[in-house]
Amino acid sequence: MSAATAAGARIEVRGLTKRFGSFVAVDDLSFDVEPGRITGFLGPNGAGKTTTLRMILGLVHQTGGTATIDGHRYVDLPRPQQTVGAALEATNFHPGRSGRDHLRVLADAGGVPLRRVDELLELTGIPAAARKRAGAYSMGMRQRLGLAAALLGDPKVLVLDEPANGLDPEGIRWLRGFLRHLSGEGKTILVSSHLLQEVEQTVDEVVIIANGRLVRSGNIADLRGGPGAVVRTSDVERLAGALRVADVTSTPGTDGTLVADTADLRLIGDVALRAGLPIYGLQARRADLEALFFELTEGTNRNETPGAPAEQDAVLGEEGANL
């Protein structure tokens, strides 16, 4: 095992289930999050993402199944702050306390040296605002403060819920690079987000759920499918035959196009020229994450069903009962 891989710890979710009365928020869910990888956790509103993250962190008790970090339930971790850091919301601080003092309180409670506080203020780009009251922070600054808090113990695992919310384009670009740096160190990163285009530029793996169930997971490159090209011509059948001679398979598109199983646009052009066929359009095919997401989850939002409780309300209801 490399030093980078040793820096991370696997998250394992097996048969995880959560019911709130008759409402099933998470239904027999299983997936892994590997060290040194950024995994995007995606799903429509009410899909069960928040409930799942809270069960992984021991904040919500599961009805069935298991969720472990480094082989342990969160509550059984011997050094939780050094194993997993989490930022589930950008409001879990005292509004009258400065950003630096917020981190110092957390560091003191976790036995983390105070010098780590200033290191993280620099790393997350908020040293100038560190002495201001956190209640006056913008949403983007709160996100950075939450990320700094999650990293205090230099954990092996990061669990982040919508970390790009409130960040401007430059902040999103910074976050992308920062998460890449952390995964390069071998850390395990699980990111829940609804910003699909941003996730596509950031993550290595995706886990997509709907109605509390897994609908697709895997490497993002594999989920997009193999390389291909979309061609418009005057005679789709003739071009398909000419491409077969050149050992290129193809299938008719739904809009009068031909989808060729190659990303070599020059080859397609040369084949069409030899066949005496005009080309009206030729472009590489790229199945983006947004298209895949909507294909898999369209029409699955159970919270549109009358009487179905919202996931967040159900979670908050259990938290209130546990107080």
Q: Using an 8 Å Cβ cutoff, are 80 and 234 in contact? A: no
- For 251, other C-beta atoms within 10 Å of its C-beta total 12
Model pLDDT, residue 1: 39
Model pLDDT, residue 3: 45
Which ranges of the chain would DSSP assign to H, the alpha helix? 3-6, 49-56, 80-83, 99-110, 115-123, 139-150, 169-184, 196-202, 220-223, 236-245, 265-274, 289-297, 311-322
Model pLDDT, residue 263: 86
Model pLDDT, residue 226: 66
φ, ψ for residue 207, nearest 5 deg: -125, 115
Q: Using an 8 Å Cβ cutoff, are 7 and 20 in contact? A: no
Instruction: Please give the Cα distance from 304 to 243 (Å, whole number).
Output: 47
**What is the percent of the chain with per-residue pLDDT over 70, rounded to a whole number?**
87
Give the chain's largest Cα–Cα span: 76
Model pLDDT, residue 225: 64
**How far is CA 189 from its chain centroid?**
9
Residue-range domains of the chain with CATH: 3-223+290-322 (3.40.50.300), 228-285 (3.30.70.100)
Instruction: Please give the Cα distance from 256 to 240 (Å, whole number).
Output: 13
- Block means of pLDDT (10 residues each) for the chain, 323 residues, are 58 98 96 96 91 96 97 94 89 86 92 93 89 89 93 96 87 92 95 82 92 91 75 95 95 86 93 96 77 72 50 53 36
Model pLDDT, residue 245: 95
Residue found under tokens 């939780």: 80
Q: Using an 8 Å Cβ cutoff, are 282 and 230 in contact? A: yes
Question: What global pTM score does this model have?
Answer: 0.77
φ, ψ for residue 177, nearest 5 deg: -65, -35
Instruction: Please give the Cα distance from 251 to 84 (Å, whole number).
Output: 47
Model pLDDT, residue 120: 94
Model pLDDT, residue 315: 57
Instruction: Please give the Cα distance from 159 to 237 (Å, whole number).
Output: 51
pLDDT tens for 292-323 read 777 777 766 655 444 445 555 555 555 544 33
